[in-house]
Structure 1
Amino acid sequence: MEFSEHIKTANVEDVVLRQPLHPPSRGTLCITGHHLLFSDREEGSSRQLLLLLRNIDAVEKSVENLLVYSGTITIKCKDMRVLHLDIPGMEQCLNIAHSIETLSCLDGVAAMYPFFYRPSDLSLQNQWGLSSTEKYYSQMKELHNRWRLSSVNRDYSVCPSYPPAVIIPQNTDDDMLKKVAKFRQGGRFPALCYYHRKNGMVILRSSQPLTGANRKRCREDEHLLQAVIDGSDKGYIIDTRSSQQAQQARMTGGGFESKSSYSHWKRLHRQMERGKALQESLIKLVEACGDESHNMDRWLSKLENSKWLSHVQTALSTAGLLAECVERDGHSVLVHGSEGTDSTLLISTLAQLIMDPCCRTLEGFLALLEREWVQAGHPFQQRCAHFAYSHARLQQESPVFLLMLDCVWQLWRQFPLALGFSEALLLRLATEAYASDYGTFLCNSHQERCALGVTENTHCLFQALLRPTERDYYSNPLYEPTELAIWPSVHPQSLQLWRGFFLRWTQQARQLEEAQEEIRNMVIELHEQVKMLSLNM
């Protein structure tokens, strides 16, 4: 179907745009297959708005201004902007609203803008991505004695959500892996995602075992986990469900690793909300941030009732527990919840940031996100289909990736010198996950991206962010590398609302951003002066 079939009115003159941090402006509104374009027609003005339609979460129509205009369209965006368009002519107003609603919700991945985006300074011939399981394995020479790279999933038949290559114990053959995959939900068998160079311990991730009510066993699964800790006294299993939730999962075919079958593994339960509960928490938080009553008690009550900062606290606390098991206690850890595609990836990512200085550089952090989220099967297409304004009934949406970025921001704020990237990078990633010019966050798995030709026909966001001009903007000028672990404080008074994201369209946030940019420029200028002095000495 052509985009033009959904556009009943392509251009409208004499439209008034009202948007945050700008005075109202009058001009021309245009709709294309992927964008909403507004051009200010006032003499000497060059103000424009170019909005990716995929960034629109909800469209509302009203006819309050009948004497002057025929209708007003309110557009609520996934980056938390709220725009108002006063459009002359009732028919034109309805046509525009209908076109926006339709084009912003098209399901076909191949029709999305990343397949059409062609910037002059990027080439489709470039290698796509920064990291892969194969590259990680080749860099970790210490792994090669006890671990091997398996291509058992090269055709995605063993696990649809895993990449083609996985890292597993040396003495576990591919036939055993196939049996283990049948014992784990979605085929997500235990696979290595992190090797700790300091002590040789590892982090593995998987989905829940399918023990069921009959306490079914899988000898191959037990053998694989025993091979992980061979020569060690024990390992830990961090289950991101409560003990009660894990017990209930057995009634529907899921379950957990029993003490009798996995005697050398100690199971720890740390309940983390996911799915609908997490999405509803975001909706309440966004509603609180949009409250214009300016009543402090009401604002604080809404913030607390959203429970968002409680989710941040739980995620950081659980990640700290994982890092403590590996870094301080010297034990390997398996992390899983039920499906292993959400909170599992969240905890693994944060733990690696806490422990590994390589993950704290700009390039290292982007490579970490690629391995742990893009390649490891986080279903971005489902989780980020809608933000917090949509009137659609909640289905698979859940802001797990946004929660991870919020936790990273808390680390960035507590350790301003330890991370090599800026808050601007986190804001950019939060926006791109929901609506992007790039193909990085398209689809739900590596298999889907390959089937749709994403890597051949779209550009990679992570590579674009490492271009010289972008790299400078997203780097932290105060960065001082440290080999030490960065242990976050999770006391309530240590955690703050991520104002840069949730209050980003307020005057106070804009002033803070301008101040940070001025400080950044001063630091960069100081560095340049020091460099010049050292050259002249």
Structure 2
Amino acid sequence: ESQFKNKIVGENDITLQCVDQIYGVFDEKKKLLTGQLRKYPEKLIIYCKDLRVFHFCLRYTKEEEVKRVNGIVHHSQTPKLLKRLFLFSYASAAPNNTDGKNQTVMFDTLEDWRNELERTKGNVKYKAVTTNEGYVVSEKLPLYFVVPICVSEESILKYEGRGIPIWCWSCQNGAALLKMSALPKEQDDSTSQMQKAFLDGIYKTISKPPYELLKTDDLSSSLPSLQDIQTAYTKFKQLFLLDNSTEFWATDVKWFSLLESTNWLEIIRRVLKKAIEVAECLERQQTNILLIEESATDLCCVISSLVQVMMDSHSRTKSGFQSLIQKEWVVGGHSFLDRCNHLHKSDKEEAPVFLLLLDCVWQLVQQYPPAFEFTETYLTVLSDSLYVPIFSTFFFNSQHQKDT
């Protein structure tokens, strides 16, 4: 057990990016702490993003020790610099796994993408491209990615990678799951018509009736917004951040109604339903599916990941699931830094999109435990890893930001 123990962060240590809110108790009244304190609290309550709650009694603490509370509040609530948040000095390359079968594919080389195409039999209609080497097309796109064979390099460059169907996965019957970031909405009619003509040309490279059909799905209109997801999760989270037994029993009496009122489970239901719809289109209707989103790095990641977990047994192994996360989320450009609000810079960008995926996968693990090589413990550790500064995996907005 000791070999798996974290040697940097102790069991009761709280990393800066794990702090959600800090409350002080003054004369039995709880108050959210922000800015400079005029009066020191009798008790400090720290709510963590991993749903832990810490209580610190300061009533009998020496005055010079209590003064540290100001520093704690300041460091945890004010915007931070990236270099002060991550343990860069401790970061080192992970040991190479010599067992090729159980190795996580990093998708940072052209060969990785070609191997994935070959594994899913997608190499007949799709190709891995090097157009973005040096991030010349877009800093949000990975260095290498896969597009339909008919898509030219000029098309990729034209709108900086936007409006280009990027391959996620191919079904055994040849139908493919693709994602695309939407082109910016233009006010000018001529520009808008040019964009439409461009997209029509792109769609024709994939859709060739009656053999090759294409269905587009704009996730921004068919799924909850990121703001809705954040609002629901904030309510959901409050059910677990209880201070005492009185609050616990008061909540316990109406637990299910409170849980339902958060709308978090409804969002999970809608997301899973959407993933099932996409899976059925791919398998039963043999139709290519193109998921569309503004940046294609949030809900596109959720749906494409869930579809692969449902349809590809490899994605239900530990190494396969890790490779999937690496492909769709880390290399795929999900903004972990903004969505987790690690730097406390903008609450507007915060949304638990990755946690939404893990919760959806948890639902599947509960229903079909023999189908998975991992358990809920693994998913919990994965979610906790979001807030531990010794892992850079879930720390950056893009591969470009990590590389630079």
1:444 maps to: 397
1:131 maps to: 106
Aligned counterpart for 1:216 among listed residues 190, 193, 199: 193
2:44 maps to: 73
CA separation in 2, counterparts of 1:386 and 1:56?
Answer: 9
Any conservation in 1 of the 2:122–2:169 contact (CA below 8 Å)? Answer: no
CA separation in 2, counterparts of 1:295 and 1:166?
Answer: 48
Q: For residue 289 of structure 2, what is the amino acid of its counterpart? A: V
Any conservation in 1 of the 2:113–2:144 contact (CA below 8 Å)? Answer: no
CA separation in 2, counterparts of 1:125 and 1:308?
Answer: 38
Q: For residue 155 of structure 2, what is the amino acid of its counterpart? A: M
CA separation in 1, counterparts of 2:374 and 2:42?
Answer: 44
Any conservation in 2 of the 1:322–1:351 contact (CA below 8 Å)? Answer: yes
1:285 and 2:236 correspond: yes
Any conservation in 1 of the 2:164–2:202 contact (CA below 8 Å)? Answer: no
The answer to which of 396-405 and 83-92 deviates more is 83-92
Output the aligned Cα RMSD: 3.1
Q: SS at the partner of 1:145?
A: coil
Q: Per-residue deviation at 1:284? A: 0.7
Any conservation in 1 of the 2:206–2:212 contact (CA below 8 Å)? Answer: no
CA separation in 2, counterparts of 1:298 and 1:430?
Answer: 27
Q: Per-residue deviation at 1:125? A: 12
Over 3 Å counting, the alpha-carbon distance change for 1:98 and 1:188 in structure 2 is farther
Aligned counterpart for 1:193 among listed residues 165, 168, 178: 168
Q: Please, which runs of 5 or more residues in structure 1 have no aligned partner?
A: 1-34, 38-47, 243-270, 452-537
CA separation in 2, counterparts of 1:395 and 1:61?
Answer: 25
| Cα offsets for 1:509-530 (capped at 9, x unmatched) | xxxxxxxxxxxxxxxxxxxxxx
CA separation in 2, counterparts of 1:105 and 1:436?
Answer: 17
| Cα offsets for 1:432-469 (capped at 9, x unmatched) | 12334211011101110111xxxxxxxxxxxxxxxxxx
Over 3 Å counting, the alpha-carbon distance change for 1:71 and 1:211 in structure 2 is closer
Q: For residue 191 of structure 1, what is the amino acid of its counterpart? A: I
1:4 maps to: none
2:332 maps to: 376
After TM superposition, the structure 1 = structure 2 runs for residues 47-446 of structure 1, keeping only pairs within 5 Å, are: 49-64=12-27, 71-87=42-58, 88-99=61-72, 101-102=74-75, 107-117=80-90, 122-123=94-95, 130-132=105-107, 134=110, 135-141=112-118, 142-179=121-158, 181-182=159-160, 187=162, 189-196=164-171, 198-210=172-184, 212=186, 214=189, 215-218=192-195, 219-230=197-208, 232-242=211-221, 271-289=222-240, 290=242, 291-296=247-252, 298-385=254-341, 394-446=347-399
Any conservation in 2 of the 1:210–1:216 contact (CA below 8 Å)? Answer: no
Over 3 Å counting, the alpha-carbon distance change for 1:177 and 1:309 in structure 2 is same
CA separation in 1, counterparts of 2:328 and 2:282?
Answer: 18
Q: SS at the partner of 1:241?
A: helix
Q: SS at the partner of 1:162?
A: coil
CA separation in 2, counterparts of 1:411 and 1:446?
Answer: 29
Q: Per-residue deviation at 1:110? A: 2.4
2:4 maps to: none
| Cα offsets for 1:265-315 (capped at 9, x unmatched) | xxxxxx212322211111111112335243555333321221000000000
Identity between Structure 1 and Structure 2 (%): 25
Q: Per-residue deviation at 1:164? A: 1.0
Q: Please, which runs of 5 or more residues in structure 2 have no aligned partner?
A: 1-7, 29-39
The answer to which of 160-169 and 293-302 deviates more is 293-302
Q: For residue 147 of structure 1, what is the amino acid of its counterpart? A: Y
Q: For residue 205 of structure 1, what is the amino acid of its counterpart? A: K
CA separation in 2, counterparts of 1:419 and 1:107?
Answer: 39
Q: TM-score, normalised by structure 2?
A: 0.82
Runs of 4+ in 1 over 4 A off after TM superposition: 103-106, 121-129
Kindly indicate whether structure 1 or structure 2 has the higher relative contact order, using CA contacts under 8 Å at least 6 residues apart.
2
Any conservation in 2 of the 1:73–1:97 contact (CA below 8 Å)? Answer: no
CA separation in 1, counterparts of 2:290 and 2:275?
Answer: 12
Q: How many residues align?
A: 368
CA separation in 1, counterparts of 2:227 and 2:216?
Answer: 25
